[in-house]
Amino acid sequence: MNKLKQFWLNQKPFFTPFVVLLLLIMFIVEFVKGAILVSILPIYMKSVLGISTFVIGWTMALQYLGDNLFRSPVGWLIDKVGYRAVMLTGVLLTFASVVIMVTFSHTFWIIVACTLLGIGTSPLWPCVITGATESVGEQATGTTMSIIYLSWLSGVGLGPVVINFFIGETYTGAFRLLVLLTAVCVAVTFFLPSRRRDEANMKTVLHELKDKRARQQPQESLWTRQARKIRQYMGEVSRSLNVSWAFYPALFAQTFALGLLTPVLTLYARTVLNLTPSQYSMFLIAGGAITVLFLIPVGKLVDRWGTRWFINIGLLLSSFTLLTFTFVSSIYFVLALVTLLGIGYALIIPSWNALIASVIPKEKRGAIWGFFLTIEGSGNVIGPIISGKLWDSFGHQAPFVTSGLVLAALFVLQLFIFVNRKVMVR
């Protein structure tokens, strides 16, 4: 007990002004994104526009594709130009996306807005994870990930719930709220630091740049130089990692399982379970609240005891829940399963991300987090496309069963991951 108390007392303070700004931006952006993707677009596109679930899945996938494609370059840019410019560009694109949704109602413009929303939110995770882990240090990755995901879940969970109170016969009130929130987010972003490096590191970087310029050939073009720098940097990133073959498909599988649920969760609740908006909000709150309550305690325990048992139990519990989810008809049983799923993900989130953070060298956090998040994000791109096809072809149970099977496969796959085992798994 004394050792555990001393361990917590030795942690660096997490809530620095810089980290608080990052978490506030994440909360607002995810609030807006969750409200749009969960509560507004699926029902609007299905009921009002009358398009197939498969097309809805593609629309969601384009949003995730825009997010995913830019995560790796964003991570590299964070290392080079700092947080403010990168995050501000993303928030402005998010603002433009919401304005397009408010202004236009044609399906084409909604698809364009979703793609812009994905591109605009791509800097969010690389900036927040890089900034938070850099600020707190190496000894509290589980706690750090818990707090980051607490901010994310609060936004994602409250967005769909709160926005329902602003949706009447039209979506005007809802969109006005989203425009106001994104405008506030733009203002907050200006308070981020312009650079992420301290003065000593900056001198080192400038010295390296001068040496490189001295070695460059006069005829080398700007684009050639930049391409060479990126290749050299990513080569250094690759050589600095010590991961097994199973690590990369595991990164994909974890988000692929979640991506399978994204376009069909609201449709299942409203069209199969016939839940009212208030009942659906209750289910969202139940699952989200359970996850939020467990995140920080689990993160503390992960920092103390390692990741193995938390990942194993979380994957098995979540897999079982999803495999049985659509085979029960009682609302109370469904609510119990939602609660179990919330506990399962509360166990997975801090332990899984602490596992990932343990293999990242601190001098290349931005680029490697961007690279890993790109692999993870590809699951969010492909998942909705396959999910919509499964729903249309095999019925409403297929996406949930497939998601459960993917998590079961991930449980087996992660047993073969041996990355810095003494740090990662105890």
**pLDDT digit string (tens) for 50-77?**
766 777 777 777 887 777 777 767 767 7
pLDDT over 60 (residue 418): no
Structural contact between residues 123 and 89, judged by C-beta atoms closer than 8 angstroms: yes
Mean pLDDT in residue range 232-256: 71
- What would the pLDDT profile of 309-330 be if each residue is shown by its tens digit? 888 899 999 999 999 888 887 8
User: What is the Cα 232 distance to its own chain's centre?
Assistant: 28
Place of tokens 């490189």: 212
Integer Cα distance of 89 and 104 in angstroms: 23
Q: What is the CA radius of gyration of the chain?
A: 22
Integer Cα distance of 348 and 314 in angstroms: 5
Q: Which two tokens stand for residue 281?
A: 């909000």
The amino acid present at 400, given as its one-letter code, is F
Angle subtended at Cα 24 by Cα 20 and Cα 25, rounded to the nearest 5 degrees? 120
> What is the 8-class DSSP label of residue 271?
I
Contacts (Cβ under 8 Å, ≥6 apart) of 180? none
Contacts (Cβ under 8 Å, ≥6 apart) of 19? 131, 132, 135, 136
Integer Cα distance of 371 and 53 in angstroms: 30
- What would the pLDDT profile of 136-146 be if each residue is shown by its tens digit? 665 556 667 67
Residue 43: its H or E element: helix 41-43
Domains of the chain: 12-197+241-424 (1.20.1250.20)
**Which residue, 83, 81, 84, 85, is CA-closest to 205?**
81
Place of tokens 């399962």: 344
Return the minimum-mean-pLDDT range out of 7-16, 19-28, 106-115, 179-188. 7-16
pLDDT bracket for residue 226 (50, 70, 90): low
Direct distance between the N- and C-terminal alpha carbons of the chain, in angstroms, rounded to an integer: 18
Task: Report which listed range, 3-12, 370-379, 389-398, is most confident.
Answer: 389-398
Residue 207 burial (10 A CB sphere; 0-12, 13-18, 19+): exposed
Orientation of helix 277-305 relative to helix 2-9, angle to 10°:
110
- What would the pLDDT profile of 164-179 be if each residue is shown by its tens digit? 778 766 777 888 898 9
**Which residue, 147, 127, 126, is CA-closest to 369?**
126
Integer Cα distance of 8 and 150 in angstroms: 19
Structural contact between residues 380 and 262, judged by C-beta atoms closer than 8 angstroms: yes
- What would the pLDDT profile of 361-373 be if each residue is shown by its tens digit? 666 666 676 677 7
Q: Which two tokens stand for residue 222?
A: 């700007």
What is the percentage of the chain residues whose pLDDT exceeds 90? 8
Q: Which two tokens stand for residue 85?
A: 């410019």
Integer Cα distance of 425 and 146 in angstroms: 18
Structural contact between residues 248 and 375, judged by C-beta atoms closer than 8 angstroms: yes
